[in-house]
């Protein structure tokens, strides 16, 4: 993860230790990249959904995409508040993202949902790891932000999981 220290004009003062701020910023930048990638993946599946549950899945994924999109700006702004640069381009996102793209021409609905379950679970895990770094850095502001997003991500995972369950 290449987080470049801000030029003096963009350097934001902070009372947190520089090494800790750098580590948290790198982790949060990775989350920003993952949020962009997960947003696009969720919208991709939303746009290409088909099948007997089309309407329900289409609306669910639209809701999830909006929720993911809403996390990007606060996370990126948090990196700036810590005094570091954040995502600058689609190429930068591609360098940092852990979310796997899906460029298939057709993906069955259940496969889409299961893929999103896995990506949301990985996102929640990565957020918890970043939260732990925040605790070590005494960065309660970033930790607080992540707590809400972890809950939202776990909720998305739960909804997707329940949607993929088959009745017995």
* Residue 53: domain span: 17-164
Query: Is residue 9 one of the residues assigned to a domain?
Result: no
Tracing tokens 């679970």 back to the chain, one arrives at 121
- Percent of residues, the chain, with pLDDT higher than 70: 92
DSSP states of 24-37: HHHHHHHHHHHHHH
Give the count of domains, the chain: 1
Query: Is residue 60 one of the residues assigned to a domain?
Result: yes
Q: What is the pLDDT of residues 21-34, one digit of tens each?
A: 999 999 999 999 99
CATH number at residue 97: 1.20.1260.10
3-class SS at 168? Answer: coil
Low-confidence ranges of the chain (pLDDT < 70): 1-10, 167-168
In 3D space, the residue among 163, 83, 43, 64 whose CA is nearest the CA of residue 123 turns out to be 64
Contacts of 153 (CB under 8 A, 6+ apart): 120, 123, 124, 127
pTM of the model: 0.92
Query: Is residue 1 one of the residues assigned to a domain?
Result: no
Q: What is the pLDDT of residues 134-163, one digit of tens each?
A: 999 999 999 999 999 999 999 999 999 999
Check residue 156 and give its pLDDT.
98
In 3D space, the residue among 46, 50, 68 whose CA is nearest the CA of residue 58 turns out to be 46
Query: Is residue 26 one of the residues assigned to a domain?
Result: yes
Query: Is residue 57 one of the residues assigned to a domain?
Result: yes
Tracing tokens 């379950």 back to the chain, one arrives at 117
Measured CA angle at 37 (ends 89, 147), to 5 deg:
105
């Amino acid at each position: 993860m290449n987080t470049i220290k801000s030029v003096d004009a963009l350097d934001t003062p902070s009372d947190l230790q520089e090494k800790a701020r750098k580590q948290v910023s790198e982790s949060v930048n990775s989350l920003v990249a993952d949020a962009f990638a997960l947003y696009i993946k969720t919208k991709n599946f939303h746009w290409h959904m088909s099948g007997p549950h089309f309407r329900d899945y289409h609306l669910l994924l639209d809701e999830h995409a909006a929720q993911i999109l809403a996390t990007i700006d606060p996370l990126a702004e948090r990196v700036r508040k810590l005094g570091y640069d954040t995502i600058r381009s689609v190429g930068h996102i591609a360098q940092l993202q852990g979310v796997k793209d899906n460029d298939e021409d057709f993906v069955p609905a259940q496969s889409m949902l299961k893929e999103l379950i896995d990506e949301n679970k990985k996102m929640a895990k990565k957020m918890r790891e970043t939260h732990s770094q925040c605790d070590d850095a005494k960065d309660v502001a970033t930790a607080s932000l992540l707590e809400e997003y972890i809950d939202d991500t776990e909720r998305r995972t739960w909804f997707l999981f329940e949607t993929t369950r088959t009745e017995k």
